[in-house]
Amino acid sequence: MPRVGIALGSNLGPRLANLRAARELLRRLTRPGDELLQAPIYQTAPLACPDGSPDFFNTVVEIGYDGSPAELLQHTQAIELTLGRTRSTTHHAPRSIDIDLLYFGAATHASVGLVIPHPRLTQRRFVLQPLADIRPELILPGDCLTIAAHLAGLVSAEPAPALVQREW
| Residue 98 a catalytic site member | yes
| Residue 85 a catalytic site member | yes
Selected catalytic residue, list 98, 124, 125, 135 = 98
Selected catalytic residue, list 15, 100, 133, 135 = 100
| Residue 100 a catalytic site member | yes
| Residue 20 a catalytic site member | no
Selected catalytic residue, list 85, 124, 125, 135 = 85
Q: What are phi and psi of 46, to 5 degrees?
A: -65, 135
What is the set of active-site residues? Answer: 85, 95, 98, 100
